[in-house]
Chains A and B, each alone.
Chain A
Amino acid sequence: MGDVLVIAEYQGQRFPKTTMVALHAGLELAKKRGGNCLAVIAGDQLDGLAADLAKYGVSKVVVLEHPALKEYLADAYSCAISAVAKKLGAEYVLATATAIGKDLLPRIAARLEAPMASEIVAIGEDNTLIRPMYAGNALASIEMDGPFKVVTVRATAFDAAQPSGSSAAIEKVEAEIDAGAGRMQFVSFNQTKSDRPQLTEARIVVSGGRGLRSGENFKTVLEPLVDELGAAMGASRAAVDAGFVPNDLQVGQTGKVVAPELYVAVGISGAIQHLAGMKDSKTIVAINKDPDAPIFSVADYGLVADLFKAVPEMVEELKKVKHS
């Protein structure tokens, strides 16, 4: 009892920060529940990744290699990982709430007939887990029972695991995949091209809203600020819906949740659904021409101004600070 199986997601030959967060949360949960933290990695040709994963304090790395696992697909992955959880008797199956985590973990929960807690932000001592509900307007303390429990963690709520100085054993396990599971087929991935940091990994995020008025203005007005700060770019739903920027830039209750050192909201009113995705940022700056915009109620520093004037000025001032 108390063992935690962490699903280690990777991008190419690297683990994104979100995976390190899952490991950290998994280690903390295992410690509090008196079990071990194990990691599972699935795909094809994983030797390098598995060796790397073994360095982060887990007690074992389970490797699932199978041609059907080459591309991530929910049905095959759910089969293979659920089988590992059963075999190891892991009480918890855990991953970060990335697009894959959100897609896969409920499916594993159903297969294990287990309850599932989505996007937890803390682990309680008394067998409870804490998760936000109602766009972050309530924090629920929840309890689950049964032999298996499934959990996704919110990436911004936990630290990243660090190398432990030792290396765990690596075990290759035969992947069990139902004959019926291979029906989903990967067709293509159209990656949003960007040289900027990833939204969920960046130290600074600059987001634009409907106030920017066009995709062109995102380029000519907002992007110079984004790049001067070395930031990732985000957006409100209104800006995405209007087609100013790609969908995966949406920050909020139903988009990405971020908590960078610095979040700059430009021309964003601060609807509750937007706040749900950024209000845990360390420092928040808002630039808006409406002094009553709700975004100011969470901003550490506010500037009531026309963004088309203020943002270029800010870029100039930043250049001065940099060169002084």
Chain B
Amino acid sequence: MKILVPVKRVPDPATTIRVLPDGSGIATDNIKWVINPFDEIAIEEALRIKEKQGSGEVVLCSIGQQSWQEQLRTGLAMGADRAILVKSDGALDTLAIARILTSVASQEKPELVILGKQAIDDDSNQVGQMMAEMLGWPQATFASKIELSDGKCTVTREVDGGLETIAFPLPGVITTDLRLNEPRYASLPGIMKARKKELKEIAVDSMGIDLTPRLRIKTLTAPPKREAGRKLESPADLVQVLHSEAKVI
């Protein structure tokens, strides 16, 4: 089975994010860039499906600048077969990203697209669902378990108040939640092999897609900071202040 895994480059989740004083963006010096953690889970799941089936192909795709190759190489080192980098310098909104990925999917014709439920930088949680609609495919977001048999996909999803299970015939789009799996690390032989794997570059302008941003970020501001309060001596004191001072109990 062929599986397409879109991958985004984001700041390491352990990085402290600082908004630039002029509100034009975040400070990017000293940022370590990584594969979006949810996309790493998507790569892992795709690899497991391929390994279980004994055949297939896992294709990665990123939309970004030349430097995004690094993350694609990491994904190839984890075990993906090849990668596509759609080169773009401009700011793209989620609608444009979904259109580009949909175009790639129409070319590649995967049976599954697996991607992260959200990117931890813009926290939008949109692209997988948009792709599913553009492709006219079923979707299963927030997946914590995926089962495949006879061209049918059964997915357990993390929803409010419990776990929901839905099923659909392939092809389809799945977005990953945290509990789906624990991604592997790239091994040394994996890293060596990754250097020889295909990483194709496509210029976004050559794709003939309307990329005009329909959503623009005007400014970024740092949120109001919450002040630390005070420490109390004992559970009895704590209960007292909650009762008589904060009046919450």
Residues of A within 8 A of B (CB): 73-75, 78, 98-100, 102-111, 113-119, 128, 132-146, 178, 180, 183-192, 198, 200, 204, 229, 237, 240-241, 246-248, 250, 253-254, 256, 261-262, 272-273, 279, 282-285, 291, 296-305, 310-311, 313-314, 316-318, 320-321
Contact = CB atoms under 8 A, between A and B. Distances in A.
A73 B229 contact: no
B159 A248 contact: yes
A204 B121 CA distance: 29
B136 interface: yes
B54 interface: no
Among A138, A250, A272, A317, the most chain B Cβ lie within 10 Å of the Cβ of A138
A230 to B, nearest CB: 9
B125 A241 contact: no
A99 B123 contact: no
Contact of B214 (A74, A115, A246, A302): A115
Contact of A188 (B122, B126, B165, B249): B165
B246 A106 contact: no
Contact of A141 (B133, B217, B231, B240): B217
A215 to B, nearest CB: 15
Contacts of A253: 120, 123
Given A110-B129, A135-B13, A135-B123, 19 more contacts: A110-B98, A110-B133, A113-B95, A114-B95, A115-B94, A115-B215, A128-B218, A133-B123, A134-B122, A134-B123, A137-B16, A138-B26, A188-B165, A189-B164, A192-B162, A273-B13, A300-B246, A314-B235, A314-B239
Q: State the main secondary structure of chain A at its contact with B.
A: mixed
The 4 closest A-B pairs by CB, nearest first: A106-B129, A300-B229, A115-B214, A110-B133
Contact of B235 (A190, A262, A303): A303
Interface string B96-127: 00100000000000000000011011111111
Nearest to B131: A110
Contact of A301 (B122, B168, B218, B238): B238
Interface in B28-59: 38
Interface residues of B, number: 82
Interface stretch (B64-72, B81-89, B138-146, B185-193): B138-146
Q: State the main secondary structure of chain B at its contact with A.
A: mixed
Contacts, number: 269
A53 B169 CA distance: 36
Contacts of A283: 242, 246, 248
B26 A262 contact: no
Given A75-B139, A262-B248, A304-B231, A107 B154 contact: no
A229 B249 contact: yes
B136 A180 contact: yes
Contacts of B235: 303, 305, 310-311, 313-314, 316-317
B132 interface: yes
A253 B169 CA distance: 32
B93 interface: yes
9 contacts: A114-B214, A137-B18, A137-B26, A141-B218, A187-B154, A189-B164, A192-B163, A314-B239, A317-B235
B246 A262 contact: yes
A178 B137 CA distance: 12
A102 B220 CA distance: 23
